Amino acid sequence: MSEVIALTPPMLLATAAAIAVAMWLVARLLRPGTRGPGGAKLPPGPPGYPIIGNLSQLGSLPHQNLRKLAQRYGPVMSLRLGSVPAIVVSSPHGAEMFLKTHDLVFASRPQTEATKHMAYGSKGLANTPYGSYWRHIRKLCTLELFTNVKIDSFAPMRKEEIGLLVDSLKKSSADGEVVNVSDKINGLIEDITYRMVIGRTKYENFDLKSVVEETLRLAGTFNIADFVPLLKPFDPQRMIPKMKKLGKLIDGILEKIIDEHEEAAQNSKESGSKPHRDFVDTLLSLKNKTLNPNDKDPHRIERTNIKAVLFDVAAGTIDTSGAGILWTLSELLRHPRTLKKLQAEIESLIGKDRTVEETDLNKLVYLDMVVKESLRLHPVAPLLLPHESREDIVIDGYFIPKKSRIIVNAHAIGRDPAFWSENSEEFYPERFEGSSLDIKGHDFQLIPFGSGRRGCAGMHLGLTTVKIVVSQLVHCFDWELPGNMAPGELDMTDKFGLSLYRATPLKAVPTYRLQI
């Protein structure tokens, strides 16, 4: 039985005072007259409740609930999340205004309890506020970690790991087993990430993947303490202790990884052998260097910066690629005609006596269409990462105040019937046939990786991983749902977080189909 906590008179007085002050602040926020130059008003939006504003209307699936609200209040909609003004963008035109035309104004990130406790105070790449430090750390990551040459250099490693997965599935095929595809894919992406980022397979004494998943789950939760500052000391959802605990766990893991790499580098130097080079080694080679020596406020790359960037890279790689692969395979299982068509394209180019190589991917036109369609319906980050306005601005006649939280609903944009027509909810890759529509942030009808200055730096890595894994699995195997389940019966419910995962594991029966 839970323990009852008695409120003493001083506690009651403090709580009442906090609520009174909060109500006063809310009353000020709700007063008419929040206008910009020329009398421009905030975008339309739903009325909110005292103190919490519209937080309760987000629900457990905010990407879906915000889409429904936008259908009523418009593609550029204002909310009040506690004391924080928020703008929700749900149309291609709106996304272009915020992420391209006025990109610089919205290039910053809001700072939250999650970034404070689990992201080294935003010293990495993803959540760092816009400024000199972010510009230089982005440039460093782009030139040192995410070049096409660097990513392509890991192709043999990806091939080896995918080969191990295929061998495992061949055994399951011979035994007629039902495979938990979700577990297999998540394990594959974890192994690829470990080898690419830290240069080895899993550690026995800690589980980085579980830590990443829990971190991103907490970071994706709308924490009322971030939006109602007066409630922060009370931490109503009891999230801050969990974040601090995870932050310490993350730091311990990264310290061990860095210590191990520094020791290996020293041993290589002493022995005269050629050192191994993974992402950690690349970052450590930059330690103690100054990012911007000519700036008034120069920034040095120190151990904390390395850990922050390293965790961003590991988290982004582990969390997104697996989700993209699983949604694509799920849609293919629901649409056997599409699966057969994709197999036919691959077979016509590759045959059945070898497997797909990464150098083949650019020739697989229908595969590209399938992946685009999957990311349209199931963007891995349905609300992207939030932006924050750096100054007051008027856009399309609407006033957007400084420090507004900007939420771009990629889920709603990808299903907008005004652009995608009446079949916008259907999985139909042929809609891209003969289309030049780009997935890389240039066409705002389809922005699963975001766009502009804060677009995803690891896009090439993510797309390459999704395409090579999907192509290998559909080329090597036929797939059926277990228990005579009809394709239309497959559960496609999603589970919200910073990344959008299937709510239930994907299970299927593979049948090996190649001649090797």
Q: Is 476 annotated as a binding residue?
A: no
**How far, in Å, CA of 108 to CA of 454, rounded?**
8
Block residue for tokens 């987000």: 58
On the 0-12 / 13-18 / 19+ scale of CB atoms within 10 A, 482 is exposed
Residue 21, token pair as written in the block: 């002050």
CB atoms within 10 A of CB 431: 17
Residue 143, token pair as written in the block: 């030139």
**How far, in Å, CA of 322 to CA of 212, rounded?**
13
CB atoms within 10 A of CB 23: 12
**How far, in Å, CA of 470 to CA of 478, rounded?**
12
On the 0-12 / 13-18 / 19+ scale of CB atoms within 10 A, 66 is buried
Considering only CA atoms, which of 356, 349, 321, 350 is closest in space to residue 456?
Answer: 321
Edge-to-edge strands of the sheet including 477-480? 179-180, 507-512, 477-480
Which residues have CB under 8 Å from 147's CB, separation 6+?
Answer: none
**How far, in Å, CA of 47 to CA of 78, rounded?**
10
Considering only CA atoms, which of 508, 513, 516 is closest in space to residue 476?
Answer: 513
Taking each helix axis as running N to C, give the angle between helix 155-175 and helix 181-193, from 0 to 180 degrees, rounded to the nearest 10: 160
Render 124-184 in DSSP notation, one character per residue: SSSSPPSSHHHHHHHHHHHHHTS-HHHHHTTHHHHHHHHHHHHHHHHHHHHHTPPEEHHHH
Residue 381, token pair as written in the block: 């980050």
- Bridge partners for 100 per DSSP: none
Residue stretches of the annotated binding site for heme: 456
Residue stretches of the annotated binding site: 456
